[in-house]
């Protein structure tokens, strides 16, 4: 080895990386930046040259399993009313590692017995660690992890405890962000319904 | 395997029929020894039985029995299972002889046990607090110690459901009140004496030459760009030469283990991500192994392959990241680092697609993994493993390995000999670069590592350059394993049994260890049959690797300390826990 050749190799590699960006620009033309295609190109295993995504003008699409702060799923009734899926069984509050979920169960005002519906539901998003356990273990598919990661706000005292209102999102939104999960769960649910109906037919 | 343990058992109890007894509690293994005989037994273990490597020292508080227990895990560097030695002392006045003179690698771990559990180690050279601050009141891992604003012994807290009245944690826990003081303590009047103690404990050299030079104490850190986080090194300098060095950590301490003991078994999983936040998948792996051992379950085939795949991808990204940072420490500011980050980014995309998060993966479950890998992600991994990563690795090798500056700064600097590396309980790349071919994947195989064909790279000079080369070699071997995984991965289920949010863990103890990218990562878990672990201890590889930092730095130049630290590859999330 000639002394200095190691340093020259380093410089050559850096130069090659530098030049590649421009070569790629010439090759792919305008579609390389600020287009969906370009973003996909710059994060694929074949990428050469520049690697960065210019947030917020460009945004990386998140994968389906991406998890951020949870939300509560509601089905839209015939007259547009919200039928929240949560039954306030409390499994999410029990499994939550940082214990950031608070639920108040509804009690029947006459008998005092619990009704399967939450009266209040809070998540302290300052504490939530986005582990996804609540969504994973919910038996009613009522709580799911969101994709919306831009939740910065000006007032952390007023806005960082999400209540029932803020947490509720329609099932159509869920279907849109997690299409395969949604389809799988709907299929499972339909099958269960069918089984129930069959059982009812056998012994009414 | 069992036969081997039997053999040790009979010979150790034969050797010391009076003083060593088998641990007969259900679910426990190993030997009990009285504290006064500990040194004799440990000496025999090291010199006659060949257990030259003290991997882990764990204190356990058995409050109901009013006992403190110290658990030692010994290994042979030639391979094989653990020999577990335990000693029990009274809770009120726990004194155990220190093993530091025999196994210098015990130094930090014994300090940790003193700090967190209040077990005193007689003859320890420097028994100060290590993770909490000097004025800390009490020993937090004792079972009767309660944090300020203590809510309940174990999670889930009853206040959350069904009458969950929300409050802001900050309202209940204002920062200025978040500290407990001893009775009669006035923080205004208090001045820390330990810094003087610390400075006094550092070695100086006797100067006999003609120059009248002063030896200077320099504090590197805690806020210093080269310390990879909030980490402090106190250095005594003679000119530019390091005379002695002491690492000071704990600035990021959050008592991971106490949190772990409040959590249920499953709730711990996302917390392990936050230990070494660069390789969360490996942390998950170690913890899952420890608990699965206790529960006696096995993940299905496909899950095993997925686990190995994730662990090896993690090793690759950690090593490429650490090489990038090493170059940063050498002054090649961020260009090689960003080339390394590109590859890391592509692997993190894979992690995000399978687990939902780039860094805090929380992907492993007891008895499997959380979800299957989608086909398009599999395709991406295949492309990475077969094409891109080997190419990029060669490029890195091409432009760094023979660089004159890298060689000049790294060769012969920060040397750790093989004997000292074993004695100091170094593990991972630090140990293997010193010429000890010890890798848990081969020495004590776990999961399905015995099926793959791969080599344990080893280098013999023990300097920074060899640690760098070793990481390159290991990345090559990781790719080799990954290629075999991609070839052999079967279809099938990814979970054994139904996913449960509260697992039944029978009473007993277990120690699960994996070869993490930074070294041997071990989890010691004690269950008493309840939903929460009674004791949860992490053998953090970088924390213990730091024991050898002083040894590597003595006699070197101050500018090289930064590089030596970089070559150990620490992550403060794990060091401070």
Q: Which residues of B touch A90 (CB under 8 A)?
A: 160-162
Q: Which residues of B touch A137 (CB under 8 A)?
A: 499, 501
Mean pLDDT of B467-475: 93
| Number of residues that this document lists for chain A | 204
Whether residue A28 sits in one domain with residue A97: no
Q: What is the pLDDT of residues B91-139, one digit of tens each?
A: 888 999 999 988 998 999 999 999 999 899 988 888 888 888 877 888 8
DSSP secondary-structure letter at A62?
P
With an 8 Å Cβ cutoff, is B355 touching chain A? yes
Q: What is the pLDDT of residues B149-180, one digit of tens each?
A: 778 888 888 888 888 788 777 676 655 566 66
Residues 6+ apart with CB under 8 A from B473: B457, B459
Q: Cβ of A3 and B404 within 8 Å?
A: yes
Q: What is the 3-state secondary structure (H, E, C) of B419-458?
A: HHHHHCCCCCHHHHCCCCCCCHHHHCCCCCHHHCCCCCCC
Whether residue A86 sits in one domain with residue A165: yes
Q: Burial of B492 by CB count in 10 Å (0-12 exposed, 13-18 middle, 19+ buried)?
A: exposed
Evaluate if residue A111 carries a pLDDT over 60. Answer: yes
Whether residue A34 sits in one domain with residue A90: no
Give the Cα separation of B198 and B201 in Å (integer): 5
State chain B's mean pLDDT as an integer.
87
How far is B400 from chain A, CA to nearest CA, in Å? 7
Residue A1, in any domain of the structure:
no
With an 8 Å Cβ cutoff, is B499 touching chain A? yes
Q: Worst-scoring range by mean pLDDT, B207-221, B340-354, B439-453?
A: B207-221
Mean pLDDT of A89-99: 89
- Cross-chain CB nearest to B164 (options A122, A127, A136): A122
Q: Cβ of A10 and B502 within 8 Å?
A: no
Q: What's the pLDDT at B1? A: 43
Q: What is the pLDDT of residues B295-332, one digit of tens each?
A: 888 899 999 999 999 999 999 999 999 999 899 888 88
Q: Which residues of A touch B380 (CB under 8 A)?
A: 45
Number of domains in chain A: 2
pLDDT band at B9 (very low <50, low <70, confident <90, very high): low
CB pairs under 8 A between A and B: 150
Query: What are the domain boundaries of chain B?
Result: 2-122, 256-576
Q: What is the pLDDT of residues A35-75, one digit of tens each?
A: 888 888 888 888 888 888 888 888 888 899 899 999 999 88
How far is A194 from chain B, CA to nearest CA, in Å? 23
Q: What's the pLDDT at A186? A: 87
Evaluate if residue B478 carries a pLDDT over 90. Answer: yes
Q: Which residues of B touch A46 (CB under 8 A)?
A: 383, 388
Q: What's the pLDDT at B2? A: 46
- Cross-chain CB nearest to A13 (options B352, B398, B501): B398
Residues 361 through 380 of chain B touching chain A, CB cutoff 8 Å = 362, 370-371, 380
Q: Which fold has domain B256-576?
A: Cytochrome-c3 Hydrogenase; chain B (1.10.645)
Q: How far apart are the first and last CA of chain A?
A: 89
Q: Cβ of A99 and B160 within 8 Å?
A: yes
Give ∠ CA B263-B269-B274 in degrees, rounded to 5: 100
Whether residue A97 sits in one domain with residue A17: no
Residue A15, in any domain of the structure:
yes
Evaluate if residue B555 carries a pLDDT over 90. Answer: no
Mean pLDDT of B344-349: 91
Q: What's the pLDDT at A88? A: 86
ipTM: 0.89
Whether residue A86 sits in one domain with residue A34: no
How far is A49 from chain B, CA to nearest CA, in Å? 10
How far is B164 from chain A, CA to nearest CA, in Å? 5
Residue A21, in any domain of the structure:
yes
Q: What's the pLDDT at B5? A: 54
Taking each helix axis from N to C terminus, what angle separates B389-400 and B464-488, rounded to the nearest 10 degrees? Answer: 170
Residues 290 through 329 of chain B touching chain A, CB cutoff 8 Å = none
Mean pLDDT of A112-133: 87
Evaluate if residue B193 carries a pLDDT over 80. Answer: no
Evaluate if residue B495 carries a pLDDT over 80. Answer: yes
Whether residue A149 sits in one domain with residue A52: no
Whether residue A47 sits in one domain with residue A72: no
Residues 6+ apart with CB under 8 A from A117: A84, A86, A87, A88, A106
Q: What's the pLDDT at B316? A: 93
% of chain A residues with pLDDT over 90: 10
Evaluate if residue B399 carries a pLDDT over 80. Answer: yes
Q: Is the CB of residue B540 less than 8 Å from the CB of residue B440?
A: no
Give the Cα separation of B489 and B375 in Å (integer): 13
- What dihedral angle (degrees, nearest 10) is formed by the CA atoms of B204, B209, B214, B215? -30
Residue that terminates a domain, selected from A17, A39, A61: A61
Strand ranges (E), B377-529: 508-516, 519-527
Mean pLDDT of B328-338: 86
Q: Cβ of B161 and A90 within 8 Å?
A: yes
Whether residue A86 sits in one domain with residue A46: no
What CATH superfamily classification does B2-122 receive? Answer: NADH:ubiquinone oxidoreductase Nqo5 subunit (3.30.460.80)
Of B313, B256, B268, B299, residue with least CA distance to B539: B256
Residue A161, in any domain of the structure:
yes
Q: Cβ of B163 and A94 within 8 Å?
A: no
Whether residue A52 sits in one domain with residue A103: no
Residue A203, in any domain of the structure:
no
Q: What's the pLDDT at B160? A: 84
The whole domain housing A92 covers: 68-187
Whether residue A29 sits in one domain with residue A94: no
How far is A87 from chain B, CA to nearest CA, in Å? 11
Whether residue A72 sits in one domain with residue A56: no
Q: What is the CATH number of the domain that holds A78?
A: 3.30.70.3270
Q: Which residues of B touch A12 (CB under 8 A)?
A: 399
Whether residue A120 sits in one domain with residue A25: no
Q: Which residues of B touch A5 (CB under 8 A)?
A: 402
């Amino acid at each position: 080895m000639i002394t200095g050749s190691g340093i020259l190799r380093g410089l050559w590699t850096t130069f090659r990386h530098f030049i590649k960006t421009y070569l790629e620009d010439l090759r792919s033309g305008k579609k390389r930046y600020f287009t969906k295609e370009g973003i996909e190109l710059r994060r694929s295993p074949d990428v050469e040259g520049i690697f960065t995504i210019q947030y917020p003008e460009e945004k990386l699409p998140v994968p389906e399993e991406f998890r951020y702060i949870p939300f509560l799923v509601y089905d839209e009734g015939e007259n547009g009313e919200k039928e929240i899926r949560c039954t306030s069984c409390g499994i999410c509050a029990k499994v939550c590692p940082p214990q950031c979920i608070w639920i108040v169960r509804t009690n029947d005002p006459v008998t005092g017995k619990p009704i399967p519906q939450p009266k209040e539901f809070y998540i302290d998003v300052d504490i939530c660690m986005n582990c996804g356990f609540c969504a994973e273990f919910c038996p009613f598919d009522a709580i799911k992890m969101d994709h919306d990661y831009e939740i910065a706000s000006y007032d952390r005292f007023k806005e960082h405890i999400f209540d029932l209102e803020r947490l509720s999102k329609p099932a159509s939104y869920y279907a849109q962000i997690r299409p395969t999960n949604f389809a799988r769960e709907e299929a499972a649910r339909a099958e269960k319904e069918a089984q129930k109906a069959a059982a009812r037919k056998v012994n009414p | 395997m069992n036969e081997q343990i039997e053999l040790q058992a009979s010979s150790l109890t034969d050797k010391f029929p009076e003083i060593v007894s088998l641990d007969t509690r259900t679910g426990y293994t190993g030997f009990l020894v009285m504290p006064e005989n500990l040194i004799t037994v440990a000496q025999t273990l090291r010199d006659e039985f060949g257990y030259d490597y003290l991997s882990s020292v764990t204190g356990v508080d058995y409050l109901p029995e009013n006992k403190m227990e110290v658990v030692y895990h010994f290994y042979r560097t030639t391979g094989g299972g653990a020999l577990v030695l335990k000693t029990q002392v009274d809770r009120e006045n726990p004194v155990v002889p220190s093993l530091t003179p025999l196994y210098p690698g015990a130094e930090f771990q014994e300090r940790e046990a003193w700090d967190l559990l209040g077990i005193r180690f007689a003859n320890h050279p420097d028994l100060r607090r290590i993770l909490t601050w000097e004025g800390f009141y009490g020993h937090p891992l004792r079972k009767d110690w309660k944090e300020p604003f203590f809510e309940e012994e174990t999670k889930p807290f009853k206040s959350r459901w069904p009458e969950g009245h929300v409050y802001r944690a900050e309202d209940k826990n204002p920062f200025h009140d978040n500290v407990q003081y001893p009775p009669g303590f006035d923080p205004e009047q208090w001045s820390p004496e330990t810094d003087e103690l610390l400075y006094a404990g550092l070695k100086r050299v006797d100067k006999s030459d003609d120059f009248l030079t002063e030896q200077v104490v320099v504090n590197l850190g805690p806020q210093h760009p080269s310390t990879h986080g909030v980490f402090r090194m106190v250095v005594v300098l003679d000119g530019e030469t390091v005379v002695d060095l002491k690492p000071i950590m704990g600035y990021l301490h959050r008592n991971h283990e106490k949190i772990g003991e409040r959590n249920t078994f499953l709730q711990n999983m996302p917390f392990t991500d936050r230990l070494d936040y660069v390789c969360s998948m490996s942390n998950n792996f170690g913890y899952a192994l420890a608990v699965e051992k206790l529960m006696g379950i096995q993940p299905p085939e496909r899950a095993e392959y997925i686990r190995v795949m994730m662990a090896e991808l993690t090793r690759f990204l950690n090593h490429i990241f650490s090489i990038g940072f090493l170059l940063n420490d050498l002054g090649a500011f961020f260009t090689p680092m960003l080339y390394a980050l590109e590859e890391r980014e592509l692997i993190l995309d894979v992690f995000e697609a399978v687990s939902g998060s780039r860094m805090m993966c929380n992907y492993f479950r007891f008895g499997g993994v959380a979800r299957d890998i989608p086909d398009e992600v599999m395709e991406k991994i295949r492309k990475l493993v077969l094409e891109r990563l080997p190419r990029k690795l060669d490029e890195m090798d091409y432009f760094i390995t023979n660089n004159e500056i890298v060689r000049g700064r790294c060769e012969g600097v920060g040397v750790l000999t093989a004997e000292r590396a074993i004695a100091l309980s170094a593990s991972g790349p630090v140990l293997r670069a010193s010429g000890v071919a010890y890798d848990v994947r081969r020495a004590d195989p776990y999961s399905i590592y015995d099926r793959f064909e791969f080599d344990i790279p080893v280098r013999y000079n023990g300097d920074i350059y060899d640690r760098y080369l070793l990481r390159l070699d290991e990345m090559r071997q990781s790719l080799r394993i990954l290629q075999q995984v991609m070839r052999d991965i079967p279809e099938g289920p990814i979970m054994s049994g139904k996913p449960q949010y509260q697992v039944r863990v029978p009473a007993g103890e277990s120690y699960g260890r994996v070869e993490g990218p930074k070294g041997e990562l071990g989890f010691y878990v004690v269950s008493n049959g309840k939903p929460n672990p009674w004791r949860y201890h992490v053998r953090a590889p970088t924390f213990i690797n730091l024991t050898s930092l002083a040894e590597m730095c003595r006699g070197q130049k101050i500018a090289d300390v930064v590089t030596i630290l970089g070559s150990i590859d620490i992550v403060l999330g794990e060091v401070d826990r």
